[in-house]
Amino acid sequence: MKRIFGLECEYGLTFSPNGRVYLPIEKILGYIFEGLIPNSWPSNAFLENGARFYQDTGCHPEYSTPECDDLLDLVMHDKAGERVLESCLPIAEDRLREEGLSGNIFIFKNNTDSLGNTYGCHENFLMRRDVDFWKVAEQLIPFFVTRQIFSGAGKILKVSGKPQYFISQRAQHIHEKTSSSTTSSRSIINTRDEPHADAEKYRRLHIILGDSNMSEFATYLKVGTTDLVLSMIEDKFTVPSVELDEPVKAIRDISKDTTLKKRIKLEDGRELTALEIQRMYWERASEYLESHPHDKIMHDVLREWERVLDRLEDSPMLLVRELDWITKKWIMESYIEKKGCEWDDPRLAMMDLQYHDINQQRGLYYLLVGRDHIRKVVSEEAIERAKNIPPQTTRAKVRGDFIRFARAKNRSYTVDWTYLKLNGYWEETILCMDPFCASNRRVEELLSQVPQARLKT
């Protein structure tokens, strides 16, 4: 069965002025929005590629991918979010100069700032309503707690005043197993149930503990393995006796140990490493795919999952080109060896941040991409298309087509995940409750009113 999934990524934003004049970050964010969305449209807006771009709590620009039912589409549209924000930077800096100011605006795809605040990368999966959500959650929690060994973004943090390299940026900010809050009591699984679809058939699985990934492969593996594990649990292929004794403590303990040797206590008294727990899920997923036919991508995810677990056990540094926390650790260790410095050197803290700079001309991740030191999953051409073209197999296509029509006709409109509305004269609301449906008769009629040259991409 196809599944709808998406990512909501909050970005860090900062301004480095050339001089003593400092602008509030709210004003900088306003310039970012001006570079993307015309003044006649709201700052909380959907784009022609079906994605949503808006200001989140803490004055963070947030980009929500359009609904995807294909893993490669999701990777592509997640990266397109970076490119969309990057394209706003020159326009925003020009606006600064118009006001007699100058400086550089930095946008980071990471999860923590220098003051210890955190912002998230939330994962959304449409799941079946007829399965017991709490049983599914109990099965998923050990998987999510240990998944960071290949999905973590890496971070230098101080422990008792001494710098230490951690696997995950979000792990230290998780306080509950489950919660409805995304800020005051962050949890492994968020229980907010907003399926944006037929609520009798579906609910939303909302995951808020994950790191933002620069690596396309890490995103591919993170979302792909979650999709696979969720599918097998929905089909009653559970992993027996895997419940953790203290999941919140476990997620922090695993993040502290880059040797991956730390043993985590289970409810039945056994102690296993994160690698051993991941292998339990992999083995069950392998059995599941043998008896339940899936598309070739899920079989590829299973193969890559096993390969990554094998390398993490034997030679983790072989994954330098693929996993963020290992790639960043390699950069820093190489610098330490070259300069003869220690982990408390402030230049390492700067490198920690610069790895996540989405500006392709200065971000450390993108410097590695330019030297072919990073494994790519989708082409740059595909990412560029995704900036303007929505996925063609989900409701996002209907939304993108509608927005293109309204802008071509200079019509005011209101859009949400489940409806499209033309405002004013001949006001009309079009409901779109099926996220799997990529066509709508009324939207197609509207598109016929727009010259085809305007619809070319």
Distance CA 405, CA 95 (A): 29
Catalytic residues: 56
Nearest CA to 11 out of 66, 64, 76, 48 is that of 64
Q: Which amino acid is at 210?
A: G
pLDDT of the residue at 410: 87
Distance CA 25, CA 257 (A): 35
Spell 37-70 as b/e; 16+ CB within 10 A means b.
beeebebebbbbbbbbbbbbeeebbbbbbbbbbb
Task: Find all residues with CB under 8 Å of 269, minimum gap 6, and list them.
Answer: none
CB–CB of 244/145 below 8 Å? yes
DSSP, residue by residue, 306-335: HHHHHHHHH-GGGGTTT-HHHHHHHHHHHH
In order along its 457 residues, the chain shows pLDDT tens digits of: 689 999 999 999 998 888 776 778 888 888 888 767 655 444 468 999 999 998 877 678 999 999 999 999 999 999 999 999 999 999 888 888 888 888 899 999 999 988 888 999 999 999 999 999 999 999 999 999 999 999 999 999 998 889 999 999 999 999 999 987 666 678 999 998 899 999 999 999 999 999 999 999 999 999 999 999 999 999 999 999 999 999 999 999 999 999 999 999 999 999 999 999 999 999 999 999 999 888 899 999 999 999 999 999 999 999 999 999 999 999 999 999 999 999 999 999 999 999 999 999 999 999 999 999 999 999 999 999 999 999 999 999 999 999 998 888 888 889 999 999 988 877 889 999 999 999 999 999 888 887 643 444 4
Nearest CA to 178 out of 135, 221, 125 is that of 135
Distance CA 193, CA 216 (A): 28
pLDDT of the residue at 195: 94
pLDDT of the residue at 454: 45
Distance CA 150, CA 168 (A): 10
* CA-to-CA dists, residue 179 to 7, 191, 400, angstroms: 19, 6, 33
pLDDT of the residue at 37: 65
CB–CB of 226/207 below 8 Å? yes
The alpha helices in 4-114, defined as continuous H runs, are: 25-36, 71-98
pLDDT of the residue at 164: 96
pLDDT of the residue at 182: 64
pLDDT of the residue at 80: 98
* CA-to-CA dists, residue 128 to 57, 133, 202, 437, 448, angstroms: 30, 9, 5, 17, 36
The alpha helices in 113-246, defined as continuous H runs, are: 133-151, 216-234
